[in-house]
Chain A
């Protein structure tokens, strides 16, 4: 059974139809890329899956449960985690507190008030910072990081609660070539732990890490399949050449 299934998603903003019957299926431990020209509906599809937008029609099931109308918090509690397109770390808090904030989201109120889970979560917070090469800067405010490091911190925050599905919206946006390469390295180990849906403009990057790709054009799925299949798809090439 697929971990995530979105069927016939339509999203209309006023006179604009951003999604026009889009489908998306993601299996467990699959890295799935969403590509397409600007305005093709990639980010809207991601938002409909994460709960930032409620689709005008269509269904989203996650782990066999219909979550089409669920709030972002309910989806997060079901095991979904999102990294926004625009970096949204909490700049005034330290890197450590940013991670701890993500880790403790599902702790009970008494546990938070009496800080009971801090000891248990400490090692996990430090391990996440270590994994994303930020451990030496744990006590610094997030605002002190470079843009690329803030992106890493946000991926670490999204991964910290050990989600079943990680949604990354343009994780390498604004990064240097070297930072993109390192980001690819950092993402590779998580394949054993969760599935990934990634929206990305850098086709080389997405080709290197994804198992399957879905190509969107004008709010609809143009093609879907393995990386090799998409690379050889005449329809996909036509769309990209048309927009180039």
Chain B
């Protein structure tokens, strides 16, 4: 028999993971960013406020894309983390009089993280891996229960929520809705996007891809799949919490719908419409649905939800990988993982 002896340092017949071919994804990302930067210059004031709300929802959509698009965890309860963080910062502002951006945004992030850790710990950290159905129904129930609790709790304002939240501040400067809030939100969205991108393109991202593709297989490699899921679920909860706290200060009030099933489902649609597992798909999906809703609600006041529903159905039926799949190849969507050190560095790291 012929014995093949592996060499210790092989020449690379292919530049694995670092092909120098044309990449579409960075171009899409730069175009989207450029449009976002220029938008307030062409929009009227009320539309800048609307665009800010959409940017916050994009941040929220990133949190769902992380759990579903990258780790294969179907969460129908992302609004729990969005809403609890919104309520949390509203209470901090109302009861403690604290509105400093340096305190309320980290607080919102931590609240989202803590609630996701609690719910994720319960749903994901069993001895055996949880089924998709169990996690979907568990998160859905969590969202419904949170909504009902908020509606029935007088301290949280009951059905009316908490109105008249004072604006977020930086020193003596109040950050009110308008271009300043818009650019601040855009900056936060960009930072979180880059952080998520770093994470999903790292070796940790490869582990997440394994989780999404075949959870049982990677458990037999030695991965602690439940722990991996809980980590990404909690991280995504923190992102949703950040979005929720931005939303609360932008709108000036919080109400039980922020925790409920409708907004939890809405974020699923944003990501499925744009294309899951790409990050930019979540952003494009959110912008597309919100823009079309805005336009339809002006032009077809009575039937716009029906038109929107049919449109969503058509995209999900005929482009299951979302709008982004019209221009992005499957190979580029899956991407590569981790930075390959230069030849001289290899083996020394």
B310 partner residues in chain A, CB cutoff 8 A: none
User: Are B16 and A112 in contact (CB-based, < 8 A)?
Assistant: no
Give CA–CA (A105, B216) in the complex, Å: 13
B12 partner residues in chain A, CB cutoff 8 A: 126
A interface SS class: helix
Q: A73-B224, A184-B1 are in contact. Are A112 and B207 (CB under 8 A)?
A: yes
User: Are A128 and B330 in contact (CB-based, < 8 A)?
Assistant: no
A113 sits at the interface (CB 8 A): yes
User: Are B220 and A119 in contact (CB-based, < 8 A)?
Assistant: no
Give CA–CA (A186, B13) in the complex, Å: 21
Within 8 A of B (CB), among A22-47: none
User: Are A161 and B221 in contact (CB-based, < 8 A)?
Assistant: yes
In which size bucket is the chain B interface?
Answer: 35 or more
Give CA–CA (A97, B338) in the complex, Å: 10
A238 sits at the interface (CB 8 A): no
Most buried by A among B6, B221, B345: B221
User: Are B349 and A120 in contact (CB-based, < 8 A)?
Assistant: yes
Q: A90-B214, A119-B346 are in contact. Are A77 and B203 (CB under 8 A)?
A: no
Give CA–CA (A157, B345) in the complex, Å: 25
Give CA–CA (A16, B198) in the complex, Å: 50
Q: A114-B202, A119-B349 are in contact. Are A102 and B221 (CB under 8 A)?
A: yes
The one of A92, A113, A136 in contact with B199, judged by C-beta atoms closer than 8 angstroms, is A113
Give CA–CA (A184, B3) in the complex, Å: 11
User: Are A128 and B206 in contact (CB-based, < 8 A)?
Assistant: no
A236 sits at the interface (CB 8 A): no
Within 8 A of B (CB), among A73-130: 73, 76-77, 81-82, 84, 88, 90-94, 96-97, 100-102, 104-107, 109, 111-120, 122-123, 126-128, 130
B19 partner residues in chain A, CB cutoff 8 A: 139
B167 sits at the interface (CB 8 A): no
Q: A73-B225, A101-B210 are in contact. Are A127 and B7 (CB under 8 A)?
A: yes
A189 sits at the interface (CB 8 A): yes
B301 sits at the interface (CB 8 A): no
A233 partner residues in chain B, CB cutoff 8 A: none
User: Are B221 and A115 in contact (CB-based, < 8 A)?
Assistant: no
User: Are B3 and A189 in contact (CB-based, < 8 A)?
Assistant: yes
A127 partner residues in chain B, CB cutoff 8 A: 6-8, 10
User: Are A119 and B207 in contact (CB-based, < 8 A)?
Assistant: no
B14 partner residues in chain A, CB cutoff 8 A: 136, 138-139
Give CA–CA (A71, B222) in the complex, Å: 9
User: Are A131 and B222 in contact (CB-based, < 8 A)?
Assistant: no
User: 9 smallest A-B Cβ distances: which pairs?
Assistant: A115-B338, A76-B222, A127-B6, A118-B338, A105-B221, A119-B341, A119-B349, A105-B222, A112-B204
Q: Given known contacts A118-B349, A139-B14, A139-B17, what 4 new A-B pairs fall within 8 Å (CB)? A: A92-B330, A109-B204, A113-B199, A115-B337
Chain B residues engaging chain A, CB cutoff 8 angstroms: 1-10, 12-17, 19, 127, 199, 202-204, 206-207, 209-210, 213-214, 216-225, 231, 330-331, 334, 336-341, 345-349
Chain A residues engaging chain B, CB cutoff 8 angstroms: 50-52, 71-73, 76-77, 81-82, 84, 88, 90-94, 96-97, 100-102, 104-107, 109, 111-120, 122-123, 126-128, 130-131, 133, 135-136, 138-139, 141, 157, 161, 184-186, 188-189
